[in-house]
Amino acid sequence: MNPMMAARAYQAVQGGSGLPSPTGGAGQVQGAGFGDILQNVMGDMTQASKAAETQMTSAVQGQGSLIDVVTAVSSAEASLETVMAVRDQVIAAYQEIMRMPI
């Protein structure tokens, strides 16, 4: 995950142009909160992992294709890497906030 992807995700969640409001006020944020977004990402990662496990089980039983297994596993891996990148960024942001003088 790079900064540009994070900015686009933030912009999509905010539902706007990504620019500050002209009034400069905080305003009321509409849409999903940060916790909801994280919960959705974790749910998607879990679903991708379960799909990969299902494809592997089918292949072992002789009912699935190896290509489907590889595709499902790579999708699950990409989802997991995304979740880990978000986790790392959240931890780094928390540590930066904790270093700020009061």
The reply to whether 17 falls in a domain is no
The reply to whether 8 falls in a domain is no
* Enclosing H/E stretch for 20: none
Task: List the domain range (segments joined by +) for residue 80.
Answer: 32-102
- pLDDT tens digit sequence for 20-54: 444 444 445 456 787 888 788 888 888 888 888 88
- Distance between CA atoms of 94 and 91, rounded to whole angstroms? 5
The reply to whether 98 falls in a domain is yes
The reply to whether 58 falls in a domain is yes
Q: What is the pTM of this model?
A: 0.57
* pLDDT bracket for residue 95 (50, 70, 90): very high
Comparing C-alpha atoms, which of 79, 76, 75, 52 is closest to residue 64? Answer: 52
Count of structural domains within the chain: 1
